[in-house]
Amino acid sequence: MDVARMNLFDLRRVLDAGEISAVELTSLFLDRITQLNPELNAFITVTGEEALHSAKEADTRLASGEGITPLTGIPIAVKDNICTQGVRTTCGSKLLENYLPAYDATVITKLKKAGAVLIGKTNLDEFAMGSSTEDSGYGLTLNPWDRQRVAGGSSGGSAAAVAAGMAPLALGSDTGGSIRQPSAFCGILGLKPTYGRVSRLGLVPYAPSLDQIGSMARRVRDLIILDHYISTYDPLDSTSLPEPPPEIGDFPRKLPGLRIGLPKEYFEEDLKPQIKERVHTVAQVLEKEGCVLVELSLPSLQYAVATYYILAWAEASSSMARYDGVRYGYRATGEQDVLNMMMETRKQGFGAEVKRRILMGTCFLTEGYYEDYYRKAQKIRALIKKDFEMAFTKCDLLLTPTTTVTAFKIGENFTDSLILTPTERCTVAANLTGIPGLSFPCGLIEGLPVGAQLMAPAGQEGILFQVASFCESVGVMPEKEAINGL
């Protein structure tokens, strides 16, 4: 039974029919991880023993017929900056190499309640600060489509794991596109939900006003189900939204008459022509179905990347202050006073990219720079939000590229400092405004996946699911997968 190629519906069917047990299913995925992970490096930690124990509990549920959900017995990979009780959470950093959280993140608690099986913790750029996993303290993750290229980041491990069939579903985190960009690079679906719809309790913070946990899958229906089971109001998260998530399959309106916005700023000269063609093909398919295409402009978008960097790095300088050698993780030894101990701990424990972002963020917050950078960035963020609110009075959702380039070659991150900007330009606005964004594959260019992105007003994930489901049903998403070559 080739479970690696099966979607959630098929996995659910064979489990419920007793054709395979949860333990057997988990073992097959663990075997696939053993086979592929030494090369792809998608997982930092594989939770084999714990996963089989959870699978046994799922089998007990299945045998009794009680407490069964669509996720019961289904293996799920989790990005390694989401806390898992008793399972190390490294955040891709050597500083937290042996850190064992004392509690589960809320999303993990909900998945366990649903009977899901945590199969491992996936690779990421250190503390989610990067766009390629090249800044991970545990080595980079390779793209399953082309081993000479990156899987993207910072949720590159989760994206590669799903694309390669090492897990049917995965969780990632998205601060400026860290779910959507690697999903586009690896040819899968990735959702950044509305800010506050998924609890951030237990997500190790990078930039708290931007961070959001989200779902990754190879099929739209699978993505919808995973998103449903992690979405909740959490009284322990002060940013959590009280509104319940939409029911599975509860779409707000029919496709004909839906207004699809095409912001011109997303289709300008730095966009690879073939990507522009693929996204326009999606627009034409939707137009034939009765959608109305609306051309519009988001003038403030030109400032989005700079605004994102200033705010994210400023928040990072505060978030990283907790790693002082006293409370968490690694501590430098041999120092005689506390100050030097803290300095050496951070000097030895943090990687170069994390240090760079902390230093830049601290600079933006210091006297003399605060007004010119941080406060101005907050004002521009408000302006960007107003532009998007205005756009959504003219359309129901936006269609854009997810990235302006396909997955770049390993090392280009370091040889060309501008290579990352095109991979983030299309995604950061959703984080700055708090709206949901969904990336889905819409074609191939020279054998590499292309991602299209849908964005909707806050709380309107249902519209994104509806459009993505239609695109999947009419063949906009390519049938070829990375798994075909593995």
CB 428 within 8 A of CB 308: yes
Active-site residue (options: 21, 27, 54, 79):
79
What pairs with residue 411 in β-bridges? none
DSSP string, 178-225: TTHHHHHHHT-EEEEPPTTSB--TTBPPSSTTT--EEEEESSHHHHHH
Q: Is 154 known to be catalytic?
A: yes
Rounded Cα distance, 450 and 186, in Å: 9
DSSP 8-state class, residue 119: E
Rounded Cα distance, 132 and 410, in Å: 9
Rounded Cα distance, 156 and 143, in Å: 8
Q: Is 297 known to be catalytic?
A: no
Active-site residue (options: 21, 131, 132, 154):
154
Active-site residue (options: 93, 178, 231, 240):
178
Burial class for 421, CB neighbours closer than 10 Å (0-12, 13-18, 19+)? middle
Pairing of strands 142-143, 146-150: antiparallel
Q: Is 79 known to be catalytic?
A: yes
DSSP 8-state class, residue 281: H
Rounded Cα distance, 123 and 108, in Å: 17
Structure tokens at 104: 């589960």
Residue 9 has phi, psi (to 5 degrees) of -60, -45
Residues noted as catalytic: 79, 154, 178
